[in-house]
Structures are given as C-alpha cells and as structure tokens.
C-alpha cells in the first residue's frame, strides 16, 4: 500500500507548472481525497486511486494552469488521500 501512496504522489507532482487558473484541477484532486477518505476497505481505496490516475492521464492540459497556491492545495489533498489510503490498508 506504500507503493500506492507513492504512486499517488508521483502522479501528481511532476505535472505542476507555474501559471494560474488551475482551480478545476485542485477541486478534482480534493474530490479524490474526500472519496478515498470515505472508503472502508482497500478495494475501494484502490478503485479511487485508479480513477485518479485515469483522470490525471486524461487531463494533463489542466496541469499547465497551476500556480504555487494550486500546488500547495494539491499537495495537501495528496497528503490527505495518502493518509486515508494508508489507514484503510493498515486497518487503522
């Protein structure tokens, strides 16, 4: 499950750029975090992570609209999601 958490972070960070208007990207990442935190089992968390990976792959153009504030919010959402996925995976 640590690998899944790493993949979530790795999928998010390389696409960060310095521009403005990345609100849609931030909102979607926060939605994925909330959805993962609502999971009660590892299968659910894995499904959400796959949905996130698919969305990221299809929406790389939105990454070009991110600025430093967006990157900070995405980092917070990614941390939240990673914590929730880890908690579900470890039975915590």
Instruction: Answer whether residue 20 shows pLDDT above 70.
Output: no
pTM beyond cutoff 0.85: no
Vertex 47 angle, CA 61 and 28, to 5°: 35
Rounded to the nearest 5°, which phi and psi values hold at 87? -60, -45
Res. 14 pLDDT band, cuts 50 70 90: very low
d(CA 66, CA 82): 21
Q: How far is CA 82 from the centre of its chain?
A: 8
d(CA 27, CA 18): 17
Judged by average pLDDT, the poorest of 8-12, 26-30, 37-41, 74-78 is: 8-12
pLDDT in tens, 25-57: 999 999 999 999 999 999 999 999 999 999 999
């Amino acid at each position: 499950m640590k690998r899944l958490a790493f993949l979530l972070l790795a999928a998010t960070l390389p696409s960060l750029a310095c521009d403005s208007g990345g609100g849609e990207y931030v909102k979607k990442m926060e939605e994925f975090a909330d959805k993962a935190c609502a999971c009660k089992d590892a299968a659910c968390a894995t499904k959400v992570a796959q949905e996130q990976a698919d969305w990221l792959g299809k929406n790389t153009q939105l990454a070009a609209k991110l600025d430093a504030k967006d990157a900070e919010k995405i980092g917070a959402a990614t941390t939240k999601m990673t914590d929730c996925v880890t908690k579900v995976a470890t039975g915590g």
